[in-house]
Amino acid sequence: MSRVINPDSVGKERTRLVKSIALCLRGMAKMSEVTLETKDMAAFVALALRSISEGIDASVAAWEKRDYWVKADKFRMEWMWAGQTAEKMKTAVLQDDWASVAMLMPQIASKLGNVVVSDNHRLGKPWTGAYTLLALHRKL
């Protein structure tokens, strides 16, 4: 029997989300006023960072299984900011605190500074409807 390979691994999902966040931040930086699309973009960043944070343990599970504890801990520390920033961004977006969102954007961009998104990307607009989704998560 052959191995079953999951083409949608947590690492690939994280890479896609990171590129989408970078694309979002670039789009938000160009906007001069808060629109529905801006709210969707900010909400998407919060949701994507939370998703990245939740996938970290699954990513390091293979390393821990092989007793690569230092590598696993280093990776966790490298991505620890994602969960904390996601919570701050979520709170700021839901309270319409756009000054805080503006303060968080450069922090996130500095962490994702080396991310390259080509002009011919196939990401589309993954942030569409994210504000509604974030508002629903608040009620849960």
pTM: 0.87
Asked if 74 and 59 count as a contact pair (C-beta separation under 8 A), the reply is no
Residue 43 lies in a domain: yes
Compute the distance between CA of residue 16 and CA of residue 73 in angstroms, rounded to an integer: 23
Structural domain including 99 reads: 32-115+125-139
How many domains, in total, are found in the chain? 1
3-state secondary structure (DSSP) of residue 68? coil
Q: What tens digit of pLDDT does each residue of 42-100 get?
A: 999 999 999 999 999 888 888 888 988 899 999 999 999 999 999 999 999 999 999 99
Mean pLDDT calculated for residue range 113-117: 80
Compute the distance between CA of residue 90 and CA of residue 87 in angstroms, rounded to an integer: 5
The answer, yes or no, to whether residue 140 has pLDDT greater than 60, is no
Asked if 55 and 79 count as a contact pair (C-beta separation under 8 A), the reply is no
3-state secondary structure (DSSP) of residue 12? helix
* Per-residue confidence (pLDDT) for residue 139, from 0 to 100: 59
Residue 27 lies in a domain: no
Residue 25 lies in a domain: no
Residue 49 lies in a domain: yes
The answer, yes or no, to whether residue 138 has pLDDT greater than 80, is no
On the CB side of 114, CA atoms within 13 Å amount to 1
Residues in the chain, how many?
A: 140
Residue with tokens 């092989």: 66
The answer, yes or no, to whether residue 14 has pLDDT greater than 60, is yes
Q: What tens digit of pLDDT does each residue of 20-36 get?
A: 999 888 888 888 888 88
